[in-house]
Chain A
């Protein structure tokens, strides 16, 4: 075992270090951060036999090019329809490859998807904040953004050819154009027209899209009363509506409280697929009640558990 040294030949904006997330500090203004697509992050790590929430690199639509300067390391890429260019050979994402000294590994956006995770067989060195390497993109706290010219060190890096190959790609990794949501918690501040329009309309993802959230274009969701509500807690998945009637779906680096009313909240098992939507994609909302939301999340959790079990077995050669 030794270290691998990777030079960042190019990194697009919002390429960051992420781990499973920083939980428990929302009361201090700190959202969990962590991967935009938690399922993909876990898949990349599990494909290498690593803990699902281990530190890894989240790649945005800007892409990432790494040159291996020293040592070698096996890498796994999962999430979105990204492509890989490894030593001049192009392939689809959702794969495990080994990178050796002198080789180049490029991750580029493909036909669909907005975020992917590049995991490493070893320990990616990055600063921790509050016991997590997840990067809060607004402040830069945590593992941090990855910039062109930086060098990344992977401690205890290994190459394991037995892991190489494709990662099975489940249909639930695709972007989901119809997001399931529970109405509220501040739906009472909206007009009857807005409440009727919300589940019945098609919205478009605007270019104002980052780790904090995704602004949507659609019919104005008019507020019933003046904007004087006290700041209320926000969660990942809150659909917040500003005074101009424009909705924003909040994501990994959301503010923890805010005074804009939330018309609805997307259920947790649809958020990874929401994150994979791109600007100009069309989306809609399907309202479900709270009990149905819990059932959907539990069903999805069982399904995901079976997927990760098979992924781990594939690695063990069963």
Chain B
């Protein structure tokens, strides 16, 4: 069932069983655009035509977890169902949504901005401009509920994460590390660089659409000042 003898590709994934109830479908071993596009294609295909016994699907950078009810299916049946969907051709579906997320980069809301500027050799304004210039897309969720990992941080402001995590970082913090960016949803520790704060509610509180982003969506950031942040933050009742 597995083709563990060779490396997976975006055309010929590797199927790896996970316990009794899931299959990991791997399209590659290193993060890449073609691999993630293949993950998103299969994610859409599974949503459009869920195989018998499918419970849920978890897309990630280069692989997708297909979780199933072991009383209704098994790894062999799921591998066959997924393979059939891969062969069914492109299911392009609806175009990815684009979200515009307001961010305030001022003062206390951006405690690491001076340090990021110093480490990158840019002015704080140039760091902000670089962050705003990025085209981001939602690669996966992880760490905690609503933590969407956005790829697309421009080269000029990519830094490795801090050696140690800081505790109690407020929800809504705009975090960057390497090519990735997160708007946090809970008060949690982080070792990423805190370069702004957003009043956007990613945990929306709307039962019909509880999470603002779907994996695959596009994100642009828009700069707001401290007054606008205070107003928007009050309006959402954080």
Contact = CB atoms under 8 A, between A and B. Distances in A.
A65 to B, nearest CB: 30
B137 interface: no
B142 A256 contact: yes
> Most chain-A Cβ atoms within 10 A of its Cβ — which of B67, B76, B140?
B140
A27 interface: yes
A202 interface: no
A266 B149 CA distance: 28
Chain A residues touching B, majority SS: mixed
Nearest to A32: B56
Interface in B109-156: 140-149
A298 B53 CA distance: 14
B94 interface: no
A265 B18 contact: yes
A309 interface: no
A231 B56 contact: no
Contact of B143 (A29, A184, A237, A265): A29
Contacts of A258: 142
A164 to B, nearest CB: 33
A131 B61 contact: no
Contact of A26 (B56, B146, B147): B56
Contact of A297 (B1, B21, B140, B141): B21
A124 B70 CA distance: 31
Contacts of A230: 29-31, 60-63
A29 B147 contact: yes
B25 to A, nearest CB: 10
Given A185-B24, A294-B74, A297-B70, A27 B16 contact: no
B93 interface: no
Nearest to A29: B141
Given A257-B58, A268-B70, A30 B145 contact: yes
B145 A139 contact: yes
Contacts of A256: 58, 141-142
Contacts of B62: 230
Interface in A293-311: 293-294, 296-298, 301
A83 to B, nearest CB: 33
Interface stretch (B80-88, B98-106, B192-200, B207-215): B207-215
Interface of A: 23-30, 130-131, 136, 138-139, 141, 181-182, 184-185, 188, 229-233, 235, 237-238, 255-258, 265-269, 290-291, 293-294, 296-298, 301
14 contacts: A27-B141, A28-B145, A28-B210, A28-B211, A29-B143, A139-B186, A184-B18, A232-B63, A269-B20, A290-B1, A290-B74, A293-B20, A297-B21, A298-B71
5 nearest CB pairs, A to B: A257-B142, A233-B65, A290-B17, A29-B141, A293-B20
